[in-house]
Amino acid sequence: PSAEVSPDGYQGDGGELHQYAQRAHPVLKTNQGLPVSDNQNSLRANLRGPSLLEDFILREKISHFDHERIPERIVHARGSGAHGYFELSHSLKPYTTAKILTEVGERTPLFARMSTVAGGSGSADTPRDVRGFAIKFYTRQGNWDLVGNNIPVFFIQDAIKFPDLIHAVKMEPDRGFPQAATAHDTFWDFISLTPEAMHMVMWIMSDRTLPRSLRMMEGFGIHSFRLINAAGQSTFVKFHWRPKLGLQSTTWDEACKIAGADPDFHRRDLFEAISTGHFPEWEFSVQLFSQEEADQFPFDHLDATKLIPEELVPLQPVGRLVLDRWPDNFFAETEQIAFCPSHLVPGIDFSNDPLLQGRLFSYLDTQLSRLGSVNFHQIPVNAPQCPFANQQRDGRMQASVPRGRVAYEPSTLEGDSARESFSRGFQTAEVSESGDKGRIRAGSFADHYSQARQFYRSQMCYEQAHIASALVFELSKVGHAHVRQAVVGHLRHIDEELARRVASGLGFVVLPMLPHATEPVRDYPPS
């Protein structure tokens, strides 16, 4: 407190510094700044009489408490976050103008949030589930959000299916369970009718969905994005995070025991690591490829159910991420942070991936109701850390106090600096599009089994055994025989031996029929 602060904290009456002003707990006051005389007894009509409506102190306190909860995220409600920084080691200047990827040695502050997908905000940390891996970089050119997962592919190819996927994954609407599990009818019913999910199914049945620690997971941007250089040329890019501690998982039995003994296992681990100076670290790598190279891939890189094998496009390490500070306040930061895949900086652009295109709309839309105001970008954890101004004004919970008369552009009344910056602003890649519009899907999105097979066969024999037993456990919880059979049918398209193992674990006497392959089934790499 300055010398201007008076005994009760009032700034400006020139009073002397009072001992109370220096205490960690200042005088208790109402939201209007009135000192409270008694925080233990409400105002009563007499010694044993009724409480009075007049007691505005009681009403303010209870009312604020009543509204402490905001809606949790529709997905990824359970998450843990931390502050940190990104440091670039190799410049990508030939490919991009994004300063965060061109200035070697520069440290960009960031906030990371890692999450489960299906469970509520109070659910356990260790169910079998995909983990979110979301980073908000506070770059010199504005905020860049890389909102990824710990698995490099996704269940579906088109965002229009996302509400159905999540309704099938989350607790069933009539009974309100299971809270965070894929071992139930609706999930497998949906999956059995969605062959494009089979590659992701192989990954989620592997130990990757049972991370030992948030510090020991990989992260992936999943979609192809574009980098754009100073000449306006664009190069496709995929983003990868690899943990310095290596990729480590628990077994299923360990994950179940931990969920009972310590539901906060991952959050506690991250908190303890950061508070004791064991800062988690990830290597950041890119896969770069041109349109001509993409045209040669035996899959469509715009299909989020496909990855680009490293044999085709090697990973280039370009930097590192370090998490070194636990948030001061969980709600203000980890809970109120709002990631959005459409938050890009100049030099980075989207691709036409139809899953990504839908995501560009969904996040801001949901956050308007989750955080309750068009001004949620002013919350400190969401606000850009570079200078910024625009002509937006007003709106619910407006916390900034813009000065001046001009809240429009162009204008001659107060200069026209906005225009000067346009040439340095965000530019979309110059791409020509042609063809007939429609609710259509390219044939290049039709191969649903090759990469599922490639993943399964790339696993060590004990990892394959874990995948098979996970499938047996999960499908044994499914009440409808036709759903179990349909899933095993899909497995036959992936690997006959895997299908046999699962069928035998489920007690099938004969293998189910192969589902009609509307999709071409071919080996990877194609001959």
Q: Which two tokens stand for residue 207?
A: 């130990």
Beta bridge partners of 219: 241
Determine which residue in the list 229, 362, 427, 469 makes contact with ligand HEM, applying CB under 6 A.
362
Interaction between residue 192 and ligand HEM (CB under 6 A): no
Cβ atoms within 10 A of the Cβ of 373, count? 16
Tokens found for residue 8: 């009760």
Q: Which residues pair with 85 in a beta bridge?
A: 109, 322
Instruction: Dig out the tokens for 402 from the structure.
Output: 């813009």
73 versus 320: smaller Cβ distance to ligand HEM: 73
Bridge partners (DSSP) of residue 249 are: 211
Could you tell me which stretch among 22-30, 32-40, 147-155, 317-325 binds ligand HEM (CB under 6 A)? 147-155
Give the phi and the psi of residue 436 in degrees, each rounded to 5. -90, 135
60 touches 312 (CB < 8 A): no
Q: Which of 28, 43, 45, 74 binds ligand HEM (CB under 6 A)?
A: 74
| Contact call for residue 190 and ligand HEM (CB under 6 A) | no
Q: Can you tell me the distance from the alpha carbon of 188 to that of 499, in angstroms, rounded to the nearest whole number?
A: 16
Q: How far is the CB of 202 from ligand HEM (least distance, A)?
A: 16
Residue with Cβ nearer ligand HEM (74 or 521)? 74
Of 258, 338, 344, 483, the one binding ligand HEM by CB under 6 A: 338
Piece of 205-213, 246-254, 319-327, 360-368 that binds ligand HEM (CB under 6 A): 360-368
Span 208-237, contacts to ligand HEM by CB under 6 A: 222
Residue 84's DSSP bridge partners are 110, 323
Residues between 3 and 62 with contacts to ligand HEM, criterion CB under 6 A:
none
Q: What's the min distance (Å) between Cβ of 456 and ligand HEM?
A: 21
Torsion sign over Cα 118, 124, 127, 132: positive
Spatial distance between the Cα atoms of 367 and 382, rounded to a whole number of angstroms: 12
Cα(79)–Cα(288) distance, integer angstroms: 30
* Long-range contacts from 62-65, C-beta under 8 angstroms, 24+ separation: 64/31
> CB of residue 367 vs ligand HEM: minimum separation in angstroms?
5
Q: Is 149 an annotated catalytic residue?
A: yes
Q: Is 148 in the site for ligand HEM (CB under 6 A)?
A: yes
Q: What are phi and psi of 350, to 5 degrees?
A: -80, 165
Span of 249-257, 269-277, 323-331, 355-363 interacting with ligand HEM by CB under 6 A = 355-363
- Residues of this chain, 291-310, that bind ligand HEM according to CB under 6 A: 304
* Residue 255 found at the interface with ligand HEM (CB under 6 A): no
Q: Determine which one of 76, 343, 377, 490 is catalytic.
A: 76
d(CA 446, CA 320): 36
Q: Which candidate in 143, 149, 150, 382 is catalytic?
A: 149
450 binds ligand HEM (CB under 6 A): no
Q: Provide the minimum distance between the beta carbon of 369 and ligand HEM in the complex, in angstroms, as a whole number.
A: 9
Name, in order, each residue with C-beta under 8 angstroms of 496's C-beta and a sequence gap of 6 or more.
none
Catalytic residues: 76, 149
Q: Which residues bind ligand HEM (CB under 6 A)?
A: 73-76, 79, 113, 115, 132, 134, 147-149, 154, 159, 162, 222, 304, 337-339, 355, 358-359, 362-363, 366-367, 370
